[in-house]
Chains A and B, each alone.
Chain A
Amino acid sequence: MKLAVASGKGGTGKTTLALALAECLEHEDTFLLDCDVEEPNLHLFFSSPSVDNKVVSILCPSIDEKQCNACGLCKEYCQYNAIVIVKQKAIVFSDLCHGCGACTLICPQNAIQDYPHQIGRLEISKKNKLNLVQGKIDIGTPLAIPVIKAVKKSVPNNVPWLILDCPPGTSCSMIHSIDGADAVILVTEPTPFGLHDLKLAVATLRSFSSAYFGVVINRCNIGDERVKDYCNRESIPILLQIPESRKIAEAYAQGVSLLQAIPEYKPLMKTLLLSLKQKSGKTI
């Protein structure tokens, strides 16, 4: 069962919720993935250092100047404007390369060889039976997607539960994170910003995913009723409402999870997971 926790607006509680859900599955060999590779933070809740560390690379072209006849086909096929022909030589700007491999395939002279170009890392941590895989892009690298894909690929097949903490927003990195999920939770807050970005997230989900999805309203006792009205109008189930609590915020700020701070949430989280599994058509 793959469950993605996403949102439109940032700071609504994706990480808090993803961790709480994962923690109540502790006995089931759960994988928790931090797909917010531009600013991952789930490791803050894992006191022990990471148990494994892997390099994430893309394949960049390296041009053999002796073989290259400057025909320019590689430049023409490069969708990322990473190659130029200067004085009868092809020059590659590796920090513009997205590693698609088109230039290597198209080169009639076989003058291009691929080499791995590091763009980020995977950090793997463990807490009892809970596994955390966190992606982290290198500073100055604009390529989040290959790192997100590497995070998702690192998980063995047929893991009973996979919980993905997605990046905020509705751009490529969110879309790639939710891709393949059996169910998606959109976390929001009942404020105008929360509603505005929730609408964008719902529209994105509806056009890119057929997964079952519902909304969790965090800090449900602030703001107004408009998020609820919107969900009712759009027939989007409200899966859970979490009231504003200083205790949760204080715990979070110290790297203490929601369930450690308020264990009473555990049955609610379990019910939520079971209902999502049922609704998404996964057999229990």
Chain B
Amino acid sequence: MVPNLSQILHIFSKDFRHHLPEILVSLCVLITFAVEQPRNWTGQPLEGRFLNGLLNALPVLMILAWAFFIVRLVQGESLVGDRQFWITRPYQWHKLLAAKLLSILLFVHLPLFLTQFALLKIANFPVASSIPGLLYVHLLFLFAIVLPSITIGTITSGIGQASLALLAVFLLMLGIVLLLTVMPDMAFAPDATDAVQGVIYLFASVTAILVQYIYRKTLLSRLVVVGAVVSIFLVIALAPYGKLINRDFPLATKAHPLPAQFTLDRALSFGHAEGHQPNSYGDEVALEIPFQVAKLPDKTIVQIRAIKLDLDLPNGEHWTSHWRSLYHSVSPGRTRDWPTISMKRAVFNRFKNAPVRAHASLGLNVFRLGPGTEVLLAGNHLSLPGGARCLNEPSQSWLKCFAALEHATPLFVIAELPSAACPVSQEATTEPWAGSPAIFADLSGDSTPGLDFTPIQQFNISLARFYVFEDHEIRLPICPETPLLVSKPEFLYSVRDEIDLGEVTLLNYVPTYPRMIVPPIQRYAPGATSDTLSWNLPRGSFLPERD
């Protein structure tokens, strides 16, 4: 009898010989992906749409190649049916499973890990310190790609059945997207039930795999998987999103007060001149509501993460927008923000001119600015604290940045722009600037790596400045030698603000094209040079302190 390890290696070596074509295909796709990465970093386009499309599809092809290999590998000793030769041979289930996992480790995870390792090296990022992050990425990879592939392999008997199962997974995801469209609150809080879904998925997958390997009870395994799918659907469909959102964004307390005062700016509305078309999208009309922002404490940034608008209509009906996702950040110096809410055109048309009683709910995330670090754009290059490196692309008015494994978020950057040394185009200066400085704020996510095959994460930093009404902003070019103050905001807490807007007329908040805000402003005279707008960034208290 082959000893413990030998049986594993014996099955492994048989699998290696049998599945060599699949292994080679997946390696070829992976190598192509790796070779293609440096070109991707530089953003050089390739000639030919087909080739471009093919290269863009490489991650999908990689997933398909790995999934195909894993399904075939598991089905090499099929667990479905009662006529397979191996089930009456001295196979031990745990050794068979171990052999399969060893193949997956050596032919899926290891090549990907080495590729990621090499890409980090090529991009001159620290390799050793990235290993824990890489291992975390592989854990996600195991969870999202490998585990479902093994599960499909264990409960299907051939590649045809596996393809049908894959189609079912695709339809399931489509169904979830469909649920998103009919359950508006869920669209804002799709991750509210992630942990529950994750536990169900993990439990069902591991159970199905073990039941198949130990007992080969295919019907039971399939029932477990179907049960998990149904449970996940029920969890998504029946979750009390309203309550979950209220729990995640509780009302203010002494310990967690409202970070700023948000009130409806009644002085502003949209004018509707003859021939101006209201902004609309299909059968939806977009409302932009001007909120005045006051009393924002020093060194505090607020992210308006979601908004809900409730209207008491003149006919006694109640209309709610449900929670809508937003990612507006309100930083020091800002006095206004214009969250957008859409409503059905039919409802809007019935009540657009009638005064309606309105109430807004804002879901706010409160951040505190960390210590600021001044970095200088040396030539076209910039190094951010934390190891990210950026390349200035003046034509796009952004810095193209690269980081190892994780985006450098949350991130807050501020600069004295525009300035005499760094002017903006004349076109951009026909309206006065707001009092807030040019900033970049990305408050999304944390520093945990996501599931991405490339370890080199790309993100852009574009410094933008609002015009006077703060309803729109423009990206400003960043010139060499421009000092940037970089800070890593720290998340403090979430809070919900309930705001009584009083009586409003909906039509006043529907912008037209061209936009016309009432009262109008005095625009800059044509010919005014941008450097006249030079705004000496006050070293005010709202700025992060320099290190």
Q: Do A and B bind each other?
A: no
Q: Which residues of A contact B (CB under 8 A)?
A: none
Question: Which residues from chain B sit less than 8 Å from chain A, CB to CB?
Answer: none
